[in-house]
């Protein structure tokens, strides 16, 4: 079964990290990605740029509107994702717990909905 592991964290945490701490976090994250690839659990992973670089698109009554970034009311934001293959939810949770940023933020684990072969 496929699961999306959304990586949520407070960006200010990264802002106060030393260069060495950031390097270790990046190194640990890339190493964990390599481990997941080797085990066959990794499908795809990406880090996202900060919310300040985003736009929000809405279509209402046939009209498209675009606004700068999301309006964040919390300090945590979506910083990246890892699409994984896991036996079940417990296996997905085990994998998510190994993501290095889980120590600084939160990992939301969500099953991927399968539409089936007719769609």
- Which stretches does DSSP call E strand in 24-87? 42-47, 55-60, 63-68, 76-85
What are 36-91's pLDDT values in tens digits?
999 999 999 999 988 888 888 999 999 999 988 766 667 788 999 999 999 999 99
Structural domain contains residue 66 = yes
Structural domain contains residue 49 = yes
Structural domain contains residue 116 = no
Tokens linked to 56: 């929000």
What are 7-44's pLDDT values in tens digits?
999 888 888 999 999 999 999 999 999 999 999 999 99
Provide the pLDDT for residue 105.
Answer: 92
Q: What DSSP designation does 94 have? A: H
- Tell me the residue range of the domain where 75 lies: 2-111
**What is the spatial distance between Cα 14 and Cα 17, in angstroms, rounded to a whole number?**
5
pTM: 0.85
Q: Which helix (H) or strand (E) holds 35?
A: helix 19-39
Structural domain contains residue 118 = no
Q: What is the CATH number of the domain that holds 51?
A: 3.30.70.1060
Structural domain contains residue 73 = yes
Confidence of residue 114 (pLDDT cuts 50, 70, 90): confident
Domain count, the chain: 1
C-alpha dist (Å) from residue 11 to 37, 52, 71: 27, 11, 15
Provide the pLDDT for residue 97.
Answer: 97
């Amino acid at each position: 079964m496929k699961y999306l592991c959304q990586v949520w964290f407070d960006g200010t945490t990264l802002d106060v990290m030393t260069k060495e701490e950031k390097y270790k976090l990046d190194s640990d994250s890339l190493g964990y990605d390599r481990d997941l690839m080797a085990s066959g659990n990794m499908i795809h992973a990406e880090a996202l740029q900060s919310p300040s670089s985003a736009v929000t698109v809405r279509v209402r009554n046939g009209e498209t509107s675009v606004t700068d970034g999301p309006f964040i009311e919390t300090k945590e934001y979506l910083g990246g994702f890892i699409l994984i293959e896991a036996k079940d939810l417990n296996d997905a949770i085990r994998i998510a717990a190994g993501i290095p940023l889980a120590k600084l933020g939160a990992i939301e684990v969500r099953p991927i909905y399968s539409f089936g072969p007719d769609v």
